[in-house]
Amino acid sequence: MAPWLQVLLLLGLLPAAAPASSKPRAAGAQAWELASPELREPVRFALEMYNRGRAAGTRAALEAVRGRVRRAGRGSLYSLKATLVEPPCNDPTVCQLPVSKKTLLCSFEVLDELGKHMLLRRDCGPVDTKSTDDKNETFSSFLPLLNKDPLPQDFSVKMASIFKDFVTTYNRTYDSKEEASWRMSVFANNMVRAQKIQALDRGTAQYGVTKFSDLTEEEFRTIYLNPLLKDAPGRNMRLAQPITTVPPPQWDWRNKGAVTDVKDQGMCGSCWAFSVTGNVEGQWFLKRGTLLSLSEQELLDCDKTDKACLGGLPSNAYSAIRNLGGLETEDDYSYRGRLQTCSFSAEKAKVYINDSVELSKNEQKLAAWLAKNGPISVAINAFGMQSLAHRPRCAARSATPFWAIKNSWGTDWGEEGYYYLHRGSGACGVNIMASSAVID
Ligand SMILES: *[C@@H]1O[C@H](CO)[C@@H](O)[C@H](O)[C@H]1NC(C)=O
Ligand SMILES: *[C@@H]1O[C@H](CO)[C@@H](O)[C@H](O)[C@H]1NC(C)=O
Ligand SMILES: *[C@@H]1O[C@H](CO)[C@@H](O)[C@H](O)[C@H]1NC(C)=O
């Protein structure tokens, strides 16, 4: 199963789309120099950048480091492999949930130009699962200084101007000049990466500037994707009654009043809660005739099996809704995007559910179920979604079938907040975790 998933809402069948594809990255072994005094400054700098913004007591410490250096012109590029130790944390004012001591393996690339440092790459993962293979493809083309084929003279000027537009469009503010220049280098790298993903994508999806373009891949994963889905199977649900009818060629619950506006989960890994409320909103509408926008915050605060902003699973959330006694509305229990004390009140609950079901992995059956019963909660492999700018509204949609998917990243992501994915090929694992609440 794909390790990083986003949970969202399947709500329509449309007759055409672009299949998304992903290829494993190339990996290769390389010889590394032993640590030397020359590494002291770049290592100190990388660690400082890693710990930037962290409160005392939560900063990672360096355990071991190896590195190598390449020189060109006035600059030196240090590639570092470091073992970092993250301290345990039990203080709820500092870390949202208790975390135990963690050892990470990180790859850093630090550019030193006449004593001025810049972090060009940061990629960390748990020491036991992290591959130590070098993955330098992402950043090499961003460095005119070190590149064998020099980039056009105006590359950085152009990039600066695109970045400036980005900052205006998405109203970004940075705490310091260093932060701004770091974000700009992240942005430039993401642009290069987007071009590479574009080349891998067989379809018409367009990758480029999005509101996440100043986040590193790792930050994006941590904040927006769903870590709990990685290994937790969650509660078992009974299988839904199979549907034997053939799905209609086209179906869109948005045209039938079953779908609320696109919401925004903010800097919180709560996609699971949005996916579930979206499904329950649709179920309630179809069974009771009223479309109500329902509370994700209630699930963040009161569903103790899931982990609020650190991820969760729809199967657990349905269970929590039943045990709590229903869902309040968005107005009564508004979204804050962080864990708070549970303040659910049964009297305010406007909606209940009686059960939940797991749906077929066969997309034809899934489509038939959707058209008959309403929007479905699904999880998809979120590869490339950080860079997905928009898909052109092209006529080619009539050629291949696709799913219409509602995400919870605001309307300034994707196509007005929606995503269209090829239907019938298991694209992005869309069929692996489909479920729905049941209202009797
Ligand atoms: C990293 O970059 C070097 C120099 O461009 C190249 O020779 C090497 O194959 C690259 N390694 C990987 C894993 O892509
Ligand atoms: C832009 O950001 C600032 C500071 O975060 C905020 O006060 C302001 O309301 C934002 N403006 C818009 C249009 O979002
Ligand atoms: C469904 O749940 C509601 C609220 O808990 C309950 O009142 C109702 O009787 C249940 N329906 C069935 C058929 O069990």
Residues 196-225 pLDDT 10s: 666 555 555 566 788 888 888 777 776 677
Residues 156, 140: Cα–Cα separation, whole Å: 14
Which residue, by CA, sits nearest to atom 13 of ligand 3? Answer: 440
Atom in ligand 2 nearest the alpha carbon of residue 171: 1
Atom in ligand 3 nearest the alpha carbon of residue 322: 5
Residue 73, judged by CB atoms within 10 A of its CB (0-12, 13-18, 19+), counts as exposed
* Residue 363 backbone phi and psi in degrees, to 5: -65, -30
* Beta-strand pair 376-381/75-86: unpaired
Q: Give yes or no for residue 294 having a pLDDT over 60.
A: yes
More confident: 280 or 19: 280
Pocket of ligand 2, candidates 171, 211, 412: which has the most ligand atoms within 8 Å of its Cβ, to mutate?
Answer: 171
C-alpha pair distances (Å), 436 with each of 159, 275, 281, 314, 424: 44, 10, 11, 9, 20
Ligand 1 contact via 140 beta carbon (within 6 Å): yes
C-alpha pair distances (Å), 304 with each of 10, 93, 262: 26, 18, 26
Ligand 1 contact via 137 beta carbon (within 6 Å): yes
Which residue, by CA, sits nearest to atom 3 of ligand 2? Answer: 171
| pLDDT score at 143 | 30
Domain ranges of the chain: 5-21+215-438, 25-129, 131-203
Q: Where are the alpha helices (DSSP H) in 152-232?
A: 155-169, 177-200, 217-224
Residue 156, judged by CB atoms within 10 A of its CB (0-12, 13-18, 19+), counts as middle
Q: Judge whether 68 and 84 are in contact, CB under 8 Å.
A: no
Atom in ligand 1 nearest the alpha carbon of residue 137: 14
* Residue 226 backbone phi and psi in degrees, to 5: -115, 90
pTM: 0.65
Which residue, by CA, sits nearest to atom 9 of ligand 2? Answer: 171
Please tell me the least confidently modeled range out of 81-90, 100-109, 308-317, 397-406: 397-406
Please tell me the least confidently modeled range out of 111-120, 259-268, 356-365: 111-120
| DSSP string of 282-299, one letter each residue | HHHHHHHS----B-HHHH
- Which CATH number does 5-21+215-438 carry? 3.90.70.10
Most confident among 56-60, 319-323, 408-412 (mean pLDDT): 319-323
Instruction: Give me ligand 1 centre to Cα 217, in Å.
Output: 20
Ligand 1 contact via 134 beta carbon (within 6 Å): yes
Which residue, by CA, sits nearest to atom 14 of ligand 2? Answer: 171
Atom in ligand 3 nearest the alpha carbon of residue 352: 4
pLDDT in tens, 1-25: 233 456 666 666 544 322 333 333 2
Those residues whose C-beta lies under 8 Å from the C-beta of residue 154, and which sit 6 or more positions away, are none
Instruction: Give me ligand 2 centre to Cα 313, in Å.
Output: 32
Instruction: Give me ligand 1 centre to Cα 290, in Å.
Output: 58
Pocket of ligand 1, candidates 136, 147, 149: which has the most ligand atoms within 8 Å of its Cβ, to mutate?
Answer: 136
Q: What is the Cα 282 distance to its own chain's centre?
A: 24
Length reported for the chain? 440
Which residue, by CA, sits nearest to atom 10 of ligand 1? Answer: 136
Residue with tokens 């058209």: 371
Please tell me the least confidently modeled range out of 44-58, 81-95, 293-307, 341-355: 81-95
Which residue, by CA, sits nearest to atom 11 of ligand 2? Answer: 171
| pLDDT score at 206 | 63
CA count, 13 A, side-chain hemisphere, 419:
32
Residues in contact with ligand 2 by the CB-under-6-Å rule are 171, 173
Element housing 323 (H / E): helix 314-324
Q: Give yes or no for residue 31 having a pLDDT over 60.
A: no
Instruction: Give me ligand 1 centre to Cα 26, in Å.
Output: 10
Q: Which CATH class is domain 25-129?
A: alpha beta
Ligand 1 contact via 136 beta carbon (within 6 Å): yes
| pLDDT score at 232 | 61
Closest CA to 349 of 289, 286, 287, 277: 277
Closest CA to 205 of 215, 214, 197: 197
